[in-house]
Amino acid sequence: MAASNQHRLSTIARISRMLVVLAIVVGAVALSRTMMGCGGGASPGQTTTASSFPQPQVLRSSHGVLSLTLRAKVATNNILGPAAVPTMVPGAIADASNTVVVGTITGPTYDGKLTGPTLILDPGDTLKIKLINELPANPPVSRTGMYPHEPYTTNFHSHGLEVSPEGNSDNVLRMMYPGTTNLVEIKIPSYHHAGTFWFHPHVHGAVTFQMMGGMAGMLIVRGGAGTVDDVPEVKAAKQIVMDFQVLHTTSANQVAYVNPTATQLGSLTPTAADGVWSAYLAPSNTYFTTNGVLNPTLHMRPGEVQRWRMLNAGSGETLLLALQGHALNVLMNDGINMPNLLTLAPGTPYVMGAGQRVDMMVKASQTPGTYLLQCLNPSTSASVSPQGIAPAPRVSHISSDFPMPTYPITLATIVIDGRPENMPLPMEDLPPPTGLPSIATMTTTSPNAIRDIAFELCGEHAGMTQPSARLPSCGWYAAKYDTNYWGGIPFSSLNMIRDADDTGVPSNPPNPNEPLINFQKEGLFDDNVPLFDDMIVNNYEQWTVVNKSFSDHVFHIHQNPFLVTQINGIALPIPEWHDSIVVPAATGGVPITSPNVTFGSITFITHFDPITVGSFVTHCHVLQHEDIGMMQRVDILPASASAAHHQNVASLERRHHSAGK
Ligand SMILES: [Cu+2]
């Protein structure tokens, strides 16, 4: 009896080993285009039907270090899509994987590819990157101020990581000029939470251009024992990376830079061509890609559960994600898990602003068939939180220079076929994320500071130009950033993120055209001046970010994530960790000063981790807005220091370089 059991077990072990070998062979064959799973999910018996779902190249740390070289370079790539998609390139031919070239794109890339590699590390590891800037020389500077500039200067931001912002670490005030080789070294704390993060360039004025060429990649921190990655149902699920990008090209298939004579962010008529990005008013192309491919196909078995690590790496488009016939189960927002899996009913979209990530547990239907993962029309009413608070249309005006795409957009086709398998979803409480104060601590600790921040727009649009229709700050700021500031050409769009408690003073004698004057701080980005001079390490702070405009903006702050407690003043049943979130637009009749207007808002609590001491930024993750100044420097000060004594070395270096030109 015992012997026969032993025989059976060893037979099973042999079969298992054979399956593993088979899986390795199948995997190796498909490696170039199919890199299923990024650790943890590929147990024997789970191999699905052969699939061509593309996965970015995976690079894993070993012995505590991940060393790699990244080359920033201009390259031409084919954009592949399924044969069913109408061909946009005459004479396009099907490739070996039954996809066709639907377009080409020439622009800045990492390593010449449309999507950067997926970097996988453990807490405590060090990420070492040799970043070689092989981009061409920058064009001669023609405009100044917060006008997009230096398209080929780059740097490196590890979005969502709670790491040092100083020196060679996650320092976005650092500049990496064309022709230079730069070392990045980011030490991930041993207590860091496991989750889905990403990396991209962050040179102010150049981010939109570089991201529209596809410069972005996923960065995953693996969890060990006792973390969410160790929950049996999560561990058993195959992991799929979905890096959503929105690639924009001109009719000549180039990622376009800006219009050097623009006088506003977005042209007001299709023929005005006086907006920063008005190159796209001409016939142009927009591609919503998943891992660099249009609408790839993913196979799942009936009843299979997979973990999808999704990233909105678009330059500004908000994605309303929904999978036909399926619930979406939210495991993590921005790489930080919820106390429990949160289920969105079929058809209810997850709202993903630019820069956001979501880890979804998806359980395939028991009914074989084809289901589309789609980006719904942003005019669909949806909440910025998966908890469904304050649903509203989610239209985000990146700028009126980008043609409106036709919705819904299919991001991937999910084919459910093969042998059924009834995998469970995690139903128990999930372990809390490591390295962050508990939700109870965050919500019961008395904050050291309470601040109000505002997204404000001035100028440009009809209804915003008349003094009576302007926000109190507009007159003073519009006068401050004069023609001289913009490099000789007047510019009418101010997209600001500012201290809303900095309310200015009445003019004397009172001037009805400028209701208030003498605001204390910059409205537009200035890397020399932090927004506040009293953000101290280890403090807890409560911020309310108010949206004083009629379109959504995406609030993002580097280094420390934040716990959202309210949306539009409505308390969330479960406070939600994020590092980026859509701040709802104002509602009510124009103008913005109308008494009928209600501003949208989010309220959050944040804690300043000791490792994050230094200078970094907060900004709108609609990069077209960030690049024209909707950003502020913020400093976390050591307990003993004051803002006056704290200076960012890279910032000084940058000013030195600028002065030398
Ligand atoms: Cu914005």
| pLDDT confidence of residue 192 | 97
Give the range among 137-151, 153-167, 186-200, 630-644 with minimum mean pLDDT.
630-644
The rounded distance, in Å, linking the Cα atoms of 304 and 269 is: 49
SS3 329: strand
Phi then psi for 263, rounded to 5 degrees? -115, 0
pLDDT over 50 at 476, yes or no: yes
Centre of ligand 1 to C-alpha 208, Å, is 12
| pLDDT confidence of residue 661 | 30
607 lies in some domain: yes
Task: Name every residue whose Cβ is closer than 8 Å to that of residue 9 and which is 6 or more positions away in sequence.
Answer: none
pLDDT tens-digit map of 272-298: 788 999 989 888 999 999 999 999 999
pLDDT over 80 at 50, yes or no: no
**Which of the listed ranges 13-17, 65-69, 459-463 does the model predict with the highest average pLDDT?**
65-69
At 35, the amino acid letter reads M
pTM: 0.88
Q: Which residues of 515-553 are buried (b: 16+ CB within 10 A; e: fewer)?
A: bbbebeebbbbebeebbbeebbbebbbbbbbbbbbbbbb
The rounded distance, in Å, linking the Cα atoms of 235 and 35 is: 17
DSSP 8-state symbol, 447: P
Task: Name every residue whose Cβ is closer than 8 Å to that of residue 301 and which is 6 or more positions away in sequence.
Answer: 48, 49, 364, 416, 417, 418, 419, 420, 421
496 lies in some domain: yes
Centre of ligand 1 to C-alpha 554, Å, is 6
| pLDDT confidence of residue 254 | 95
pLDDT over 70 at 226, yes or no: yes
pLDDT tens-digit map of 51-83: 478 999 999 999 999 999 999 999 999 999 887
Segment 620-641 shows an average pLDDT of: 93
Centre of ligand 1 to C-alpha 399, Å, is 10
Alpha-carbon distances of 343 from 2, 332, 340, 358, 413, rounded to whole Å: 46, 12, 9, 13, 21
| pLDDT confidence of residue 531 | 96
337 — pLDDT class (breaks 50, 70, 90): very high
* Residues lying with their CB under 5 A of ligand 1, a single-atom ion: 553, 620, 622, 625
Centre of ligand 1 to C-alpha 513, Å, is 26
Segment 576-591 shows an average pLDDT of: 94
651 — pLDDT class (breaks 50, 70, 90): very low
pLDDT over 70 at 271, yes or no: yes
Segment 209-229 shows an average pLDDT of: 95
SS3 71: strand
Segment 188-194 shows an average pLDDT of: 97
pLDDT tens-digit map of 538-565: 999 999 999 999 999 999 999 999 999 9
- Residue count of the chain: 661
Q: Which helix (H) or strand (E) holds 658?
A: helix 649-659
Q: In the sheet that 195-200 helps form, which strands lie side by side, from edge to edge?
A: 58-60, 118-121, 217-221, 195-200, 157-159
17 vs 161, residue with greater confidence = 161
pLDDT over 80 at 659, yes or no: no
514 lies in some domain: yes
Centre of ligand 1 to C-alpha 629, Å, is 10
Domain count across the chain: 1
Give the range among 19-23, 213-217, 572-576, 590-594 with minimum mean pLDDT.
19-23
| pLDDT confidence of residue 409 | 94
pLDDT tens-digit map of 103-119: 999 999 999 999 999 99
Q: Which residues of 620-643 are buried (b: 16+ CB within 10 A; e: fewer)?
A: bbbbbbbbbbbbbbbbbbeeeeee
473 lies in some domain: yes
Q: Which CATH number is 516's domain given? A: 2.60.40.420
384 lies in some domain: no
pLDDT over 90 at 471, yes or no: no
pLDDT over 80 at 512, yes or no: no
| pLDDT confidence of residue 513 | 62
Distance of CA 568 to the CA centre of its chain: 22
451 lies in some domain: yes
Centre of ligand 1 to C-alpha 549, Å, is 9
Segment 72-100 shows an average pLDDT of: 65
Centre of ligand 1 to C-alpha 437, Å, is 29
590 vs 163, residue with greater confidence = 163
pLDDT over 70 at 39, yes or no: no
Q: Burial-class residue 340 by CB neighbours within 10 Å (0-12, 13-18, 19+).
A: middle
Domain containing residue 481: 439-659
pLDDT over 80 at 46, yes or no: no
204 — pLDDT class (breaks 50, 70, 90): very high
| pLDDT confidence of residue 84 | 59
| pLDDT confidence of residue 641 | 56
| pLDDT confidence of residue 456 | 94
640 — pLDDT class (breaks 50, 70, 90): confident
Give the range among 467-471, 500-504, 632-636 with minimum mean pLDDT.
467-471
Centre of ligand 1 to C-alpha 620, Å, is 5
Centre of ligand 1 to C-alpha 567, Å, is 17
47 — pLDDT class (breaks 50, 70, 90): very low
pLDDT tens-digit map of 521-539: 899 999 999 999 999 999 9
The rounded distance, in Å, linking the Cα atoms of 602 and 551 is: 14
**Cβ atoms 56, 115 nearer than 8 A:** yes
Beta carbons within 10 angstroms of residue 362's beta carbon:
23
Centre of ligand 1 to C-alpha 17, Å, is 53
The rounded distance, in Å, linking the Cα atoms of 265 and 398 is: 9
pLDDT over 60 at 27, yes or no: no
Centre of ligand 1 to C-alpha 136, Å, is 29
Centre of ligand 1 to C-alpha 628, Å, is 10
Q: Which residues does residue 603 pair with via DSSP β-bridges, in sequence order?
A: 544, 566
Q: In the sheet that 494-499 helps form, which strands lie side by side, from edge to edge?
A: 494-499, 449-458, 540-548, 600-607, 562-567, 570-578
Centre of ligand 1 to C-alpha 88, Å, is 31
334 lies in some domain: no
The two most distant CA atoms of the chain are separated, in Å, by 101
What percent of the chain is predicted at pLDDT more than 90? 71
State the Cα angle at 600 between 598 and 606, rounded to 5°: 140
Centre of ligand 1 to C-alpha 397, Å, is 8
403 lies in some domain: no
